[in-house]
Structure 1
Amino acid sequence: MDDIIRLIVIEESANDAEVILNSLRKARYPIRPRHVEDDEDLQAALGEHEWDLIISVPQVGEFTCAQICEMVNSSKQDIPVIVLTDKLDGKIISTLLSGGARQVIPSQSDGCLQAAVGKELADLTERRRRRHLDQLYRELQRHNKILLESSRDAIAYVHDGMHIHANPSYLKMFNYKSMDDIEGLPIMDLVSLEDQAKFKEFMREFMTDDQEKERQIDLEGIAADKKRLKLKMELSHAIYDSERCIQVIIRDQSQNQELEQKIKEISRRDQTTGLLNRQYFIELLEKALAKAMETHTRSVLFYIELDNFNTMRENLGVGGSDPVIQNTGKIINEVSEGGALSRFGENVFTLLLTDKDGKKYANAGPLADKICKAVEANVTEVGKQSVVSTCSVGIAQVLASAATPQDVLNDAHNACAIAMKRGGNSFEFYKVSGDQKGDMKLSDIAKLIETAIEEKRLSLRYQPIVNLHGDSQEMYEVFLRMLDGEGKTVPASNLFDAAEKANLSIQLDKWVLEQSIKKLVQQQKAGHKTHFFIKLSDQAIRDESVLLYIRKLLKSTQLPGSRLIFELSESIAISQVKLAKAFISQLKSFECQSALEHFGTGLNSSTTLKHLPVDYVKIDSSYSKGLSTNPDNQKAVQEIVKMAHELDKLTIAEAVEDANSLTVLWSSEVDFAQGHYIQEPMDEPEFDFSEEE
């Protein structure tokens, strides 16, 4: 979107419209407005320009908000509609939103209007950006398919060992008439029996190799008519129809392959330094990001910028600085430990290291220091001048939570800027930090999550669950705590929201499982029969790997499964009853127990409970607040307890905050209780349950 905001204001009078415009001008929005009073005015306006925003009252005469939204839809324009109204009751808001309005806000609040406009313009910009990228992607796909179909090289795409596409040259080479004949055919069927073992070993190495470069193999192929072919296959990772797969190329032997390979290599190189160029480096970074998303194999990015380069260029001239750049690139390459090094900008180098086991990031500081010292010690002779330079290095990990390669580059560049601001000739790791208010974006929290295990910023805390009747049992609920880069606790709600959005929930689940079971084994060796309630993410019941991981941990530690009680939220159980039931049944086969948490918040809690074979019902914390003075909550708790006991399930009250509430829970025959009044979460499971008897 350009700087000017094209805005339509629909109001009864120009004076009223001007009040709205003044509010936006105060917030420094660069608006180009048009006042509209009826449907004819709006129709004319929609035909003249592409508009960015409409601000309207609910109705002008007979002209309603629903009609406005309908006209916008008919014009095929993406224009968000914000409605200003004096009456903010639920029915009016519902009607306006159902009619197509994006937001409904109070008329007399400048702050609300300015915030709403900012949000809608940001969303609009993002939607337009995505449409543009989709268009470019479709055009690129179309262009690539044309090149693919016209190529003299035989090219095919293979997923899970099966052909998903092949071009005419490939079909002709293997004597197949159409794609229907080869689709779904294993690529192994095109390899001679004598070379199949060789090809299997080659494929195994190719799939486990960290390097993104192409791999070649010479072998004998078999065509559909049993004709034998001498082949040189070139394999590389690729994407076809938005699916990760393997590209197979069999070169046309009539072409000069050596010359073609040289041209290909030259196109990837910077002419001044001979290092990789910016375009190819971004391709490598895109592949590294894809690998981080799919296999959690991270890479490390170094952003290396020469200090005081502008001053150096003024003294040496544009041409005079080239020898310095060449020499510096050579020096960095010598100490770069085999990574992909590029000349990314005029005085910027970027280095990418694949980091399968995390050791490269652990050693990134010493490597960056080595680069700084090597550059500082390097002397370049330019004419009669001896030139010495220094550099600043920013270090960032290529994490799955990064949306684009540019995000990773920005992180490394920001870290480099800090090192440079400090005086240069040093390095800095990218650290996620909040804004001036101490808040943090979910995307930044996601980055923290991915690095939290290595940096030891994750820990468990334990809150006891006490028996209100009968013998005490050592039971705790396990809570996950994460610290940010400055040692401050990240709020749990933000932590789990960020993990879910970045597809990191299962990773956190498995860390909690491993650490919880390790702690339970320690407790068992110390003579304690401790039980842990563990809250799993909503994704856990959809991922078979979680159950397999639980079974593996129990088997390797010989811990009785009965020591674990897994909590599922009522909301996920209601929406995924079959999955939840199957998940709980599988837990029972491990002798583990289960609990339904946040119980009582659904519309059909009783029906859900009848369908799920859980052992415990955790009454939602909203019922415990002010329980001693709230008859409605007291009655609801009694009904939940009666229902649970009739189904042979035990009950637990959460968030108990005072003695009076505890008394009510006891008289209501709630089985267990937990909360800050009893004990806040502890760093170790060391609660004295004997005091609660």
Structure 2
Amino acid sequence: MIQNDIIRLIVIEESANEAEVIFRNLRKARYPIRPRHVEDDEDLQEALSNKQEWDLIISVPQVGDLTVAQVCEMVSKSKRDIPVIVLADNNKKLFELLNAGATQVLPSDNEACLALVVGRELKNLAERRQYQQLEQVYQSTQKQNKMLLDSSRDAIAYVHEGVLIYANASYLKMFAYTSMEELDALPIMDLVTPNNQEKFKDFLREYMTTEMSEERQIELYGVKSNEQRFKLKMAVSQAIYDSKPRIQLIIHDQSWKNRDPSTGLFNGQHFLELLEEALVNARETQTRSVLFYIALDNFNRIKEQLGVGGTEPVIKNLAKVIKHISEEGGLARFSESVFTLLMTDEDGQKYARAGDIADKICNAVEESVTELENQSVVSTCSIGITRVLAAADSPQDMLNEGRAACQNAQEKGGNSFKVYEVVIQKDKQYSIQLAKLIETAIEENRLSLLYQPIVGLHGETQEFFEVLLRMVDSEGQTVPNPDLFQAAEKANLSISLDKWIIQEAINISAEHEKNGRQTYFFIKLSAQSIRDEKMIEYIGKQLNSTQLAGGNLIFEIRESIAQEQIKLTNTFINQLNKLKCKSALEHFGSALNFDTILKHLPVDYVKIDASYSKGGLLGQPENQQALEDIVKKAREFGKQLIAVSVEDADSLAVLWSSEVNLVQGNYIQEPLLMPEFDFEAD
């Protein structure tokens, strides 16, 4: 946290005047604060309960019944990292206050000391937050690395003090083991033929005593669990596994091929490569694919009946049956009793027919009979269907979806198929699952618009509405807008959402105009849309196709986005002006030196940041003064002013006297399903 960042501050003080003294002292020390005065435990609980992120608490030892110990306990229960600085008249209770959980205890009359300690605590807080972010990135990387190891075609293992501590699936398969439990704590020498063990010991000893130990290779004969010997080339290097130094072994099996030797289909490792290529295509060219996860329902019973070796003729026969139906796709024997099928879906028709394809496979498998020497074997299968979307996290992510849908079909009796449905849960996968919903929202008709009126304070009667996006999940529950747009930003889907909103708004406004009604829509734009060179062209085409005047649209740009890329934003606004469209700067006043941005951007409207009016203006003289400054600056540049998040009549009166032009908020009218509002009502 640097000193130019907005500091969100809670001050616990009995007197509002005393709290104001602290505010002035910190501003005097050039700290850009966004303060809140708290007088009791209910105020503090309310502040900690909302979604606002707080950076610092400054408190006196006790306000009424509220003590520092209670403050620290409430902060702890909120699960937030908020330093608590206590201002005390003397140091007699220093130990007691620190023991209660206070971060620092300072003399209440020392301004310089307070400014210094605030700076240090904010710096420490910033370092802790950065550490938490890095820890999250590290854990995510560890997870991804583990997934890559598990799905790697190369046989990879890690050794500590001569003992195997991890081996991936390829390594297990190469040495004919079925699980890591069989290899756990097994000396690495046991996987090398006896006559090669001394050679391997000398190699490792020399490698470990070399100061600059780069990757080295050795050729050996390995031994499988069934005593079968085979030649291998092993690459040895130093690596980190589970956050500790280990020896990494990578074995390149010269006999490795892309095909399953029994069925001639692709093997599982190659299918993962195909799946990864499909994911790249979805991200780069928006070409989706359909994944079918096909599992035999009664394979365990067949294996008990025929033995492990006896199942291969059944698998071979069913592989031919499935391949006959799915010749246009990439079919693989993914594991012992699981087939996977990948079909490119350029026009969406494969997904539309996926149920029919799965049904044919189920029927063909059920009707097929494998004739063995002494008996006939029949089976059924269950199929999970999912799409390869650009928002997917990894190939394993898509396989997990297909497997989950397949298991759902089996739980319902088997011999059927199930299409995977995205389930939104507040966990580590929340953003990814939400992005998948966004990617398919338009075709599944889960998007709609809401309309919030923007009303004139001084006789203006134009029908202004802000259009707000609404999306529901597969169960019809509304997705919170902040989560929606954050997920879209991460998955590079913001432009698609913006285009849908623009098209809908233009169509509705054009329809109104045909019926003799003039409506004006404020439309928010993402940073991705402003950077997109084709966005202006898209807006122009939509206007031309409906013959709508550009002046009916006002495009909103966040102040933070504009400040970061003033030149780009200026060019974008000038291009909008050529289409006769108007522009607005939203969240105005949230950044430092906010007035300077008006010198560079020819916007028509300024939407004042919600923090100035939210919660009421009447009892907040500081916000009123800030509001006057904003109005004055905007007036100097000839801008129309809009106050948002207006929640009470008193704030409305303050805004009217401040000469704000337009107001918006739930007090005026909550968002509507249709753009219908009486703008001429008193």
**TM-score scaled by structure 1?**
0.64
Match of 1:633, SS?
A: helix
Match of 2:445 among 423, 444, 456: 456
- Structure 1 residues 484-493 or 372-381, which shifts more? 372-381
Q: CA deviation at 1:540?
A: 1.6
Alignment partner of 1:655 is 2:671 = no
Match of 1:282 among 254, 272, 277: 272
Could you say which residue in structure 1 is the equivalent of 2:503? 514
**Structure 2 residue identity aligned to 1:325:** I
Tell me, in whole angstroms, the C-alpha distance in 1 between the residues paired with 2:149 and 2:121.
35
Q: CA deviation at 1:532?
A: 0.7
Deviations 1:295-329 (A, max 9, x none): 11111111111112111111122222222212222
Could you say which residue in structure 1 is the equivalent of 2:358? 368
Match of 1:572 among 561, 565, 572: 561
Match of 1:399 among 375, 386, 389: 389
Tell me, in whole angstroms, the C-alpha distance in 2 between the residues paired with 1:676 and 1:440.
33
Q: CA deviation at 1:267?
A: 3.8
| Residues 85-104 of structure 1 mapped to structure 2, 5 A cutoff | 87=103, 90-96=118-124
- Structure 1 residues 516-525 or 283-292, which shifts more? 516-525
Could you say which residue in structure 2 is the equivalent of 1:587? 576
Taking only aligned residues, the RMSD between alpha carbons, in angstroms, comes to 3.1
Could you say which residue in structure 2 is the equivalent of 1:530? 519
Q: CA deviation at 1:564?
A: 0.6
Match of 1:480 among 469, 480, 493: 469
* Residues 599 and 96 of structure 1: CA distance in aligned 2, closer, same or farther (over 3 Å): closer
> Which residues of structure 1 form unaligned runs of 5+?
1-84, 105-115, 141-263
Deviations 1:607-631 (A, max 9, x none): 0112110000001111112112222
Tell me, in whole angstroms, the C-alpha distance in 1 between the residues paired with 2:128 and 2:444.
46
Match of 1:326 among 309, 316, 325: 316
Q: CA deviation at 1:496?
A: 0.8
Match of 1:403, SS?
A: coil
Tell me, in whole angstroms, the C-alpha distance in 2 between the residues paired with 1:102 and 1:661.
36
Match of 1:304, SS?
A: strand
Q: CA deviation at 1:557?
A: 1.9
* Residues 448 and 593 of structure 1: CA distance in aligned 2, closer, same or farther (over 3 Å): same
CA contact (8 A) 2:147 2:396 kept: no
Q: CA deviation at 1:352?
A: 0.8
Q: CA deviation at 1:588?
A: 0.3
Could you say which residue in structure 2 is the equivalent of 1:408? 398
**Structure 2 residue identity aligned to 1:387:** V
Q: CA deviation at 1:528?
A: 1.4
Q: CA deviation at 1:442?
A: 0.9
Tell me, in whole angstroms, the C-alpha distance in 1 between the residues paired with 2:599 and 2:617.
26
Alignment partner of 1:355 is 2:340 = no
* Residues 93 and 328 of structure 1: CA distance in aligned 2, closer, same or farther (over 3 Å): farther
CA contact (8 A) 2:292 2:342 kept: yes
Deviations 1:418-459 (A, max 9, x none): 222222222222222234x79971111111111111111111
**Structure 2 residue identity aligned to 1:366:** D
**TM-score scaled by structure 2?**
0.65
Tell me, in whole angstroms, the C-alpha distance in 2 between the residues paired with 1:559 and 1:491.
31
Could you say which residue in structure 1 is the equivalent of 2:535? 546
Q: CA deviation at 1:606?
A: 0.6
- Structure 1 residues 294-303 or 656-665, which shifts more? 656-665
Q: CA deviation at 1:464?
A: 1.0
**Structure 2 residue identity aligned to 1:314:** E
CA contact (8 A) 1:433 1:440 kept: no
Q: CA deviation at 1:122?
A: 5.8
Q: CA deviation at 1:581?
A: 0.6
**Structure 2 residue identity aligned to 1:580:** T
Could you say which residue in structure 2 is the equivalent of 1:39? none
Q: CA deviation at 1:330?
A: 1.8
Could you say which residue in structure 1 is the equivalent of 2:434? 445
> Which residues of structure 2 form unaligned runs of 5+?
1-100, 105-116, 155-253
Q: CA deviation at 1:358?
A: 1.5
* Residues 101 and 594 of structure 1: CA distance in aligned 2, closer, same or farther (over 3 Å): closer
**Structure 1 residue identity aligned to 2:361:** I
Match of 2:391, SS?
A: coil
Tell me, in whole angstroms, the C-alpha distance in 1 between the residues paired with 2:347 and 2:297.
32
* Residues 624 and 371 of structure 1: CA distance in aligned 2, closer, same or farther (over 3 Å): same
CA contact (8 A) 1:278 1:342 kept: yes
* Residues 286 and 310 of structure 1: CA distance in aligned 2, closer, same or farther (over 3 Å): same
Tell me, in whole angstroms, the C-alpha distance in 1 between the residues paired with 2:651 and 2:613.
7
CA contact (8 A) 2:389 2:439 kept: yes
CA contact (8 A) 1:320 1:382 kept: no
| Residues 190-229 of structure 1 mapped to structure 2, 5 A cutoff | none
Tell me, in whole angstroms, the C-alpha distance in 1 between the residues paired with 2:318 and 2:331.
12
Match of 2:413 among 407, 423, 430: 423
Could you say which residue in structure 2 is the equivalent of 1:301? 291
Give percent identity, aligned residues only: 56
CA contact (8 A) 1:569 1:598 kept: yes
Deviations 1:268-297 (A, max 9, x none): 332222222222222221111111111111
Tell me, in whole angstroms, the C-alpha distance in 2 between the residues paired with 1:266 and 1:535.
54
Match of 1:627, SS?
A: coil
* Residues 131 and 318 of structure 1: CA distance in aligned 2, closer, same or farther (over 3 Å): closer
Q: CA deviation at 1:121?
A: 6.4
CA contact (8 A) 1:375 1:389 kept: yes
Could you say which residue in structure 2 is the equivalent of 1:499? 488
Q: CA deviation at 1:383?
A: 2.6
Match of 1:393, SS?
A: strand
Q: CA deviation at 1:413?
A: 1.2
Q: CA deviation at 1:463?
A: 0.8
| Residues 44-123 of structure 1 mapped to structure 2, 5 A cutoff | 87=103, 90-96=118-124, 123=137
Match of 2:611 among 618, 622, 634: 622
Tell me, in whole angstroms, the C-alpha distance in 2 between the residues paired with 1:560 and 1:619.
27
Could you say which residue in structure 1 is the equivalent of 2:623? 633
Aligned residues: 471
Q: CA deviation at 1:375?
A: 1.6
Match of 2:681, SS?
A: helix
| Residues 177-196 of structure 1 mapped to structure 2, 5 A cutoff | none
Could you say which residue in structure 2 is the equivalent of 1:380? 370
Deviations 1:528-570 (A, max 9, x none): 1111100010122211121121112112222111111000000
**Structure 2 residue identity aligned to 1:663:** A
Q: CA deviation at 1:90?
A: 4.5
**Structure 2 residue identity aligned to 1:317:** G
Tell me, in whole angstroms, the C-alpha distance in 1 between the residues paired with 2:141 and 2:308.
42
CA contact (8 A) 1:656 1:674 kept: yes
* Residues 367 and 563 of structure 1: CA distance in aligned 2, closer, same or farther (over 3 Å): same
**Structure 1 residue identity aligned to 2:496:** Q
**Structure 2 residue identity aligned to 1:598:** H
**Structure 1 residue identity aligned to 2:549:** P
Tell me, in whole angstroms, the C-alpha distance in 2 between the residues paired with 1:570 and 1:285.
41
**Structure 2 residue identity aligned to 1:612:** L
Could you say which residue in structure 1 is the equivalent of 2:86? none
Tell me, in whole angstroms, the C-alpha distance in 2 between the residues paired with 1:475 and 1:86.
50
Deviations 1:354-403 (A, max 9, x none): 11122221222222222222222222222332222111111111111123
* Residues 95 and 468 of structure 1: CA distance in aligned 2, closer, same or farther (over 3 Å): closer
CA contact (8 A) 1:291 1:297 kept: yes
Tell me, in whole angstroms, the C-alpha distance in 2 between the residues paired with 1:578 and 1:412.
47
Match of 1:455, SS?
A: coil
Tell me, in whole angstroms, the C-alpha distance in 2 between the residues paired with 1:126 and 1:331.
41
